[in-house]
Amino acid sequence: MKRVKVAIVLHMHQPFYENPMTGEIELPWVRLHAVKDYWRIIDHFARFGVKVNVTLTPSLAVQIYDYSFDRDSWWKLTLKDPDKLTPAERGFILNVLTKMVPKWAAQKFSRLRSVLESDVVEDDDVRDVQFLFNLAWFYPGEIEADPTLKNLMDRGRAYTSEDFEVIRKATAKYMKRVLEFYKEDVVECVGVPYAHPILPLLIDLSEAKISDPTNSVNLPEFKRLRDAEKHIDKAFEIYADLGLEVKGFWSPECAVSNDSLRLLAGKGIEYTITDESLLYKTWYGSPQAPAKAVNLTHRPYKHSSGITLFFRNKVISDTWSFVYSQLSGKDAASDFFRKLEEQLMFAEGEEILVVVALDGENCWEHFEDEGREFLDEMLGILASSKEFVSVWLSEVKDFNIEQLPRIEPGSWVWANFNVWAGHTEDALAWRYLAKVRDMVTEPNEYILRAEASDWFWWYGEDFFTLNADTFDRLFRDNLKAALLKENREVFELLDKPIKR
């Protein structure tokens, strides 16, 4: 019988949402995903005894550990008495919070729909929206298992300050559990550079033009190998403090270059993960796989630097991320294993490796049941199957390994770096970063935070978020803080938005 070694890699990450100028936590995603996703996804795998590789970005770990309700601006907004809200705050609650709930809650909470459809909204309506937004970001399975939370959900209205205290205590309980779940027997913790930078671009921004020669944006010169090293060194320090051993590192956005791989290898990192499109681009000059190349990703590769490279299966990974939420759980699981079986058609030997790597936190809110049925079905099969076997990356890093002298630089988005360095807004952000970096002696904490990939993701026109202005401000305020930390003058342009 032919077998598929299945390496599932779930990437868990959030950038620093603390505004260094005020100390306020400006966006709630660390709290909300910590309550609903991080712990329970690992717990789901643990209950079935299925091996999983899970990343933990240090910027996420630090924020979970240091979280404070007193600094969480969204939490405080939902606690504020409706009669004391400004018109802007009231509008934000009714027009934004009502739309930023997971799919299961949007369908379950009829109270939210009734408020949205009402011509007249009273203070009691606003109070219920404030409460239900927070409840919506609990895992529905946990709500059902907790009589107090279930009673609050079933009541559906007329929430009090005592009810908010129940939510606060439950939130604190789940947040405390997250980091301990990384020590579960089924988990291989995969490291990530400290603030999730695009390593190739930190080392040499000109890699953006190498990855896509048609990129005509006027980028500044930026070469900061020392900064890239600091992101890795600081990550190792945090994992040591948490008692976590990491053998491999996730390259943020699966972005790699030959220089970034040499850096990782030089730090003793055994493996990293990138996208299959870069393997095809390296060998065939195009990110699209020719028919004869389908089986190329069924094994890892040893880069000339000495690090092992795993190439994720793009179709299976992206189908899980973006399509399975539209199917029933059983149909999604069936499709998952059908796609794995199709890979066996191209097997050269009795065993192949398939790497399924994806964002591990954002897909679940689009499932009607937060992915519960899909995970039950998929993990149940993986736990008992002899044809499909779950593996950690460290145990297959030498499996049928082949040599790869070099790699074409790029990421898992379009096999290039255009998302982070392909628009005039990106170029302006890089110029600000370059100028501030030249004004300070070392990559201090706020330089590292400003080098996160997330700020650049939202510049340009590739993607949309209601929070684009907040991301822009956090980027610029981190640059201000970097200057202030070394008693340097903040230049006026940092007060002007980059995002148009």
212 contacts 422 by C-beta, under 8 angstroms:
yes
Going residue by residue through the chain (500 aa), what tens digit of pLDDT does each one get?
A: 899 999 999 999 999 999 999 999 999 999 999 999 999 999 999 999 999 999 999 999 999 999 999 999 999 999 999 999 999 999 999 999 999 999 999 999 999 999 989 989 999 999 999 999 999 999 999 999 999 999 999 999 999 999 999 999 999 999 999 999 999 999 999 999 999 999 999 999 999 999 999 999 999 999 999 999 999 999 999 999 999 999 999 999 999 999 999 999 999 999 999 999 999 999 999 999 887 777 899 999 999 999 999 999 999 999 999 999 999 999 999 999 999 999 998 888 899 999 999 999 999 999 999 999 999 999 999 999 999 999 999 999 999 999 999 999 999 999 999 999 999 999 999 999 999 999 999 999 999 999 999 999 999 999 999 999 999 999 999 999 999 999 999 999 999 999 99
Per-residue model confidence (pLDDT) at position 349: 85
Q: Residue 1 has what pLDDT?
A: 82
* Strand bridging mode 187-190 / 248-250: unpaired
